[in-house]
Amino acid sequence: MMSIKDRISNDLKDAMRARDKMKLDALRLITAAVKQVEVDERITVDDERMLVILDKMAKQRKESIAQFNTAGRHDLVAQEQFELDLISQYLPEPLSEDEVNQLISQAIVEVNAEKMSDMGKVMAHLKPQLQGRADMSKVSALIKTKLS
């Protein structure tokens, strides 16, 4: 199976051939973010780290869309939405709320969490499973509810 980084590289080449400027610009933003992490941390990015980068980029786009909507900048909303849709293609399928609740319950049992001070253990246990598949701030809120 092809890595996420390879898929993005191939899609970038396809966008160049098709002269699809919007897609090309969005893919270049992704590759620039990846290269930035590789240079800053002196590592080669693997799929797990790619998910973290893409998840962060998707979150930034969602925040930008909300701010542009309140400011009435619909031209910028369209651009950000396009980038968000493209980034989402490389992220795994998001989990339903029921699936997230089930994973949280399993994690609480597995790490023997009983009080709020155990929340960090539960989050550390869940993060690899949920990265890119669920909003971690919502997961955090659900864990707080279950532990209190």
Percent of the chain at pLDDT exceeding 90:
49
pLDDT of residue 116: 83
20: left (phi over 0), alpha (psi -120 to 50) or beta: beta
User: pLDDT (tens digit, 9 = 90+) per residue, 80-93?
Assistant: 999 999 999 998 88
Which residue's entry shows tokens 């998707």? 58
Q: What percent of the chain has pLDDT over 70?
A: 100
Nearest to 136 by CA among 45, 30, 56: 56
3-state secondary structure of 28: helix
Domains of the chain: 4-90 (1.10.1510.10), 97-147 (1.10.10.410)
pLDDT at 22 exceeding the cut of 80 = yes
The reported pLDDT for the residue numbered 63 is 94
Please state the pTM of the whole predicted model.
0.78
Give yes or no for residue 130 having a pLDDT over 90: no
Better pLDDT: 78 or 137: 78
Residue 121, pLDDT above cutoff 80: yes
Whether 34 and 50 have beta carbons less than 8 Å apart is answered as yes
Overall average pLDDT of the 101-125 stretch: 85
Distance CA 101, CA 8 (A): 32
DSSP 133: T
To the nearest 10 degrees (0 to 180), the angle between helices 97-110 and 119-130 is 130
Cβ–Cβ under 8 Å, residues 53 and 3: no
Q: How far apart are CA 45 and CA 70, in angstroms?
A: 36
Please say if the pLDDT value at position 35 is more than 90: yes
